[in-house]
Amino acid sequence: MKAEPDFLETVTNGYQFKGEKVKIGCGMLNGEVVTGADVYLPLKTLNRHGLIAGATGTGKTKTLQLISESLSDNSIPVLLMDIKGDLSGIAAAGTGNDKISDRSQKLNYTWAPQAYPAELMTLSNEKGIRLRATVSEFGPVLLSKILGLNDTQGGLVAMIFKYCDDQAMPLLDLKDFIKVLQYIGDEGKAEMEKSYGKISTTSTGTILRKVIELQQQGADIFFGEKSFEVDDLMRISNDGRGMISILRVTDMQDRPKLFSTFMLQMLAELYASCPEEGDLDKPKLVLFIDEAHLIFQEASDALLQQIETVIKLIRSKGIGIYFCTQNPQDVPASILSQLGLKVQHALRAFTAADRKTIKQAAENFPETDFYQTDALLTQMGIGEAFVTVLNEKGIPTPLIHTMLCPPKSRMDVLTDAEIDQLTSASKLAAKYSHAIDTESAYEILTAKLEEAREKSAAIAQPSKTAHKEESLLDNPIVRQMGRTAASVITRSLLGALGLGGRSTKRLW
């Protein structure tokens, strides 16, 4: 191992960036903080994405909180995916204690309690701004990937979207899509096949089952209007700090398919709506995804490919994406290779598989002469981590064992009363709080089918009366009675004229 002067020089040279930067901690050697070995994050390369990993209880969430605060202080909006529900405290000022004071002194860091401008958002019925999206905004390709459809079924979904566009029938929520799917499989099948080609009943049934599966995870709540505008994520508060949007998705752990659906739609919408920016001095938006394994654990190959593509391309839009998870292996290798910033907290080794994972994690870091990386990965304390970032030239900085600065906001959750107060003061809550049920495909097709039934009933009524009369005359009993009556009348007339009956001769 090299000596402290060499270490200080390595950190100083490796983390002296030309543009704006934020301090996140101080380098450590042999278990002690080295004065002056400050570790910074360069704002210019934060659109290169990143990873925050580590075992439970090692301080990942607090690191995420610290970086979010630093970005907000530099007028960079942040979106936090709060899976565990412990990030809402960023909207309240922190409370000092002896541990914070001691750490701040070691790091030569000025700590002052501070609340940050925040918005609470939700995908469900929890308190906060409701996020929604319409089926039309997903489009046939993205919706097919989410449902895991094959090419034939995906082609049918594209036909449905085309049909709805031609007929001016908006697809807003899932009941619209289901209604159209049922219509083209029954009453509207002939109309659809005449204009767009043959339709397989098997395909419509499969698609319907996939949509119902998505509904079972609560997708009905997410699909609809008013759809969320991504520009509302990129706001600056009145005091010049970046707004921190906290998406509270604590109920998404048992609904990973819905969470993946939302994340893919959000990334696709950001990519489609944001212009090309190239390499800015600082990013326009940074997105942190806590418990990132929830995105990938139920994602199909097509969905993973779509996420990978968006991650590769969205950097040029000035947007950075950061995954926070327990194990680096939770993130697919194809995505992991795209990440510039790596903050690796301690890992635990209880089994042979754990030791193998730690060895793999150590091999993915830049080589260092100051640490035995795989051994130190299991020995770091809470709030300590290996850090490496990309400099302005895209070169990884030296791997540094870092003691991280403490967050200035509350390291705990908001109370219910504080959540109510924050939500009621939100400018966006009123904008998105109420669902809008405008006329769409469901209402249009329902009215169309009702009109067709009424016309059929009106046409059927006269023919039904005629059929009754015809049926009466065709009855054999009625016909026999008619013949008998006619015979009696005829004989009576002939008798009156003296022409009817036989003459009888008398014998006397």
- The DSSP code sequence of 415-448 is PHHHHHHHHHT-TTHHHHSS-B--S-HHHHHHHH
For residue 65, give every residue at least 6 positions away whose Cβ sits within 8 Å of its Cβ, in sequence order, or none.
87, 89, 90, 407, 409, 411
No. of helices (H) and no. of strands (E), the chain: 19, 12
Q: Which two tokens mark 69?
A: 């605060």
Residue 360 CA, distance from chain mean position = 30
Residue position matching structure tokens 């995908």: 123
Q: What is the pLDDT of residue 64?
A: 93
Backbone angle region of 152, left / alpha / beta, with phi > 0 → left and psi within -120 to 50 → alpha: alpha
Bridge-partner residues for 121, per DSSP? 129, 247
Sheet of 400-404, strands arranged across: 32-42, 21-29, 400-404, 384-388, 341-344, 50-53, 319-325, 285-290, 78-82, 244-248, 118-122, 129-130
The pLDDT averaged over each successive group of 10 residues in the chain (508 residues) is 79 91 95 94 93 92 95 96 86 94 94 94 82 87 85 91 89 90 86 85 90 85 85 92 90 71 81 86 92 74 78 89 89 86 90 82 87 91 95 92 96 90 86 73 79 72 54 53 52 49 39
Where are the alpha helices (H) located in 74-173, listed in sequence order?
98-107, 135-147, 151-166
Q: What is the pLDDT of residue 504?
A: 40
| Residue 374: count of CB within 10 angstroms of its CB | 17
For residue 261, give every residue at least 6 positions away whose Cβ sits within 8 Å of its Cβ, in sequence order, or none.
146, 214, 219, 222
| Residue 191: count of CB within 10 angstroms of its CB | 13
Residue type, 251: D
Instruction: State how beta strands 341-344 and 50-53 pair.
Output: parallel
Q: Which two tokens mark 487?
A: 């015979």
- Look at residues 412, 413, 384, 407 and name the one whose alpha carbon lies nearest to residue 111: 407
Task: Judge contact between 7 and 27, C-beta under 8 A.
Answer: yes
Task: For residue 71, give the H/E element and its range.
Answer: helix 60-73
